[in-house]
Chains A and B, each alone.
With several copies, the nearest count.
Chain A
Amino acid sequence: MMQKLKNTYLGLIVLFLYAPIGVLIAQSFNASRYRGQWTGFTWDWYVSLLGNEDIIEAFGNTLTIGLTSAALATVLALVTAIGLRRLGHRSRLLLRGMANVPLLNADIVTGISLMLLFLGLGLRLGYDTILMAHIVISLPYAMLCILPQVLALDNVCYEAALDLGATPFQAFRKVILPELVPGIMAAYLLSFAMSADDFIVTYFTKGAGIETLTTEIYAELKLGVHPEMYALSTLFFVAVIVFVALLLVNYRVISRYRQAGRRQRA
């Protein structure tokens, strides 16, 4: 009885979290353009998506901006984390705190700030400014993934490598870097997700004539009801699921390392 009640509750929570997306998916297969009337199943909206050149172009932009900004943010985060490692405890805490503030700041504030900065620097808003903006918003997340691992790194492995005849550079490349792979992967994946998901920062820094998927969806929906956009959003959601699967695999790797560490300690 108690057990049944609990399962019902947990089921309701899951429903609560997933009902919206369920409605969206349903709508994307609805033959009717209009909500509330189900006139049959159709792939039409997906098909017409593929024929829409604006969307294909926006997809390209999302992909290239995401991949590039994630790579740059990850490298910056890695170098910064290693720099922070050597700092004293107090200044490290301060810098960590400072890196976390932008995480909490409202995206709209970040977007407006970046727009003002770019315009103040005399830059023309476009692809490049989106890219820079995305690095700025991804960097704190990348730090969040990489920093704990870098700080937890034990000097012992580095010293063991020196002891066995490695130069400091060899020790870094052959011992330290491989130990950090899970954190680097997580940082890259999360940075990419931040870039691809972002709407408002992109909106303020993109200028005219260039769209990413999120701004394209927004623009089309403002013009009227577009079931193609429901289809696109559904695809977006599916991409997220795939993405989470990737993260989970990566998380497994991390936790295997962690467990091994714990066993060593025990």
Chain B
Amino acid sequence: MDKELLKLEHINKSYDGKQVLEDLDLTIHENEFMTLLGPSGCGKTTTLRLIGGFELPDSGRILFDGQDITRLRPEKRPVNTVFQKYSLFSHMDAADNIAFGLKLKGKSKSYIRDKIKYALKLVNLDGYEHASVTQMSGGQQQRIAIARAIVNEPKVLLLDEPLSALDLKLRQSMQRELVKIKKELGITFVFVTHDQQEALSMSDTVVVMNQGWIQQIGTPESVYNEPENAFVADFIGDSNIIDGMMVRDKLVHLLGQDIPCINTGFGENVPVDVQIRPEDIQICEPANGQFRGVIRQVVFKGTVYDITIEAGGFRWLVQTITGHEQGREVGLRLAASNIQIMAKPASEDEEAATDE
């Protein structure tokens, strides 16, 4: 990873007596695509607004390239923001929107014209200079917002759920475009979203947040495959999360069975959370399984079947490519490498998110 660019140290922030961020530390590197991911109210947007300068922390520091910018006004910071929506100036056309920041900085006309042309090309809106922004679709408006931000050549581009107002197909194509733009510009992106799919498919680094705490920082693969606690496991993807007991290294006691796993270092006879992804469970003959159970429900989802199996007193969610017959008795097998052991949460903040 490149050198450190932005550093948040011991940030605390509360609104109306409610603690939104608690002793937050975060380091963002040059040229990184970092995503802050979490449910609403987890503090991800507040973190972004602190970096943008729209909020001041109650305590703590923000360093940019080693310099303290904690109390610098937003208009002086080397960052630009793409907001969730409504942020275009509706009385200006596309080109005037894009030129807004450059005109304030007193750039020359020819410089501004070239920049507008370049930015529109980058966001795939060649020739839209004089389009009225109120006539544009949601996707086009967000592209103009991106163009307006990047012509100022920020060191860091902040994106506050920029795609949340778009429909699914458009969102997916904008995700691909954003990654492309990021590569072309070679600057740092800090992206906020509550959509785990979006976070996984776009980012270099995913920061999972909940209730003002950072739950886990890692690559998309590590966050998905090796969640550090039940909240992360549950929030990202479907999961079976079961209370277990670590008997000793590489052996976990689960629903009455001792099951081999590959985790070590938890100690002996320690209560743990055990996570198994639904696609990692094999269905076999009852005699061959580690657990024996009955298929309760089979739902065809297109690519996969969602199969609910009651075994060992737990309703397992299993995903398979082939269908199975409802009511049949089956066995379940777990490969040691697919079992993820997680320490029990130290505080309630790390507990699994409950369905609303």
Decide if B91 touches A178 in the complex (CB within 8 Å): yes
Task: Kindly report which residue of chain B lies nearest to residue A261, judged by CB atoms.
Answer: B86
Decide if A164 touches B91 in the complex (CB within 8 Å): no
Decide if B85 touches A264 in the complex (CB within 8 Å): yes
Decide if A160 touches B81 in the complex (CB within 8 Å): yes
Most buried by B among A174, A257, A259: A174
Say whether, besides A157-B87, A257-B134, A164 and B148 are in contact (CB < 8 Å). yes
Interface residue tally on A, bucketed by range: 20 to 34
> Closest Cβ of chain A: how far from B97's Cβ, in Å?
9
Residue among A157, A163, A178, A259 making CB contact with B86, cutoff 8 Å: A157
- With A and B bound together, what is the CA distance between A159 and B74 in angstroms? 8
Decide if A162 touches B75 in the complex (CB within 8 Å): yes
Decide if A167 touches B81 in the complex (CB within 8 Å): no
Say whether, besides A179-B90, A257-B134, A160 and B83 are in contact (CB < 8 Å). yes
> Closest Cβ of chain A: how far from B51's Cβ, in Å?
11
- With A and B bound together, what is the CA distance between A257 and B141 in angstroms? 15
> Closest Cβ of chain B: how far from A257's Cβ, in Å?
6
CB-contacts of B115-135 with A (<8 A): 133-135
Question: What sequence of 0s and 1s flags, for each residue 79-112 of chain B, a beta carbon within 8 Å of any chain A beta carbon?
Answer: 0110111111111000000001100110000000
Decide if B141 touches A264 in the complex (CB within 8 Å): yes
Most buried by A among B54, B91, B101: B91
Specify which chain A residues have a CB less than 8 angstroms from the CB of B227 in the assembled complex.
Answer: none
> Closest Cβ of chain B: how far from A172's Cβ, in Å?
13
Is B138's beta carbon under 8 Å from chain A? yes
Is B293's beta carbon under 8 Å from chain A? no
Task: Kindly report which residue of chain A lies nearest to residue B132, judged by CB atoms.
Answer: A260
Is A247's beta carbon under 8 Å from chain B? no
- With A and B bound together, what is the CA distance between A167 and B141 in angstroms? 24
Decide if B74 touches A162 in the complex (CB within 8 Å): yes
CB-contacts of A219-266 with B (<8 A): 256-257, 259-261, 263-266
> What is the interface of chain A, defined by CB distance below 8 A to chain B?
154, 156-157, 159-167, 170, 174-175, 178-179, 181, 256-257, 259-261, 263-266
Q: List 29 A-B contacts (CB under 8 A).
A: A156-B87, A157-B86, A157-B87, A159-B52, A160-B87, A162-B53, A162-B73, A163-B52, A163-B74, A163-B75, A163-B80, A163-B81, A164-B80, A164-B100, A164-B148, A166-B100, A181-B91, A256-B134, A257-B134, A259-B134, A261-B86, A261-B90, A263-B134, A263-B137, A263-B138, A264-B138, A264-B141, A265-B165, A266-B138
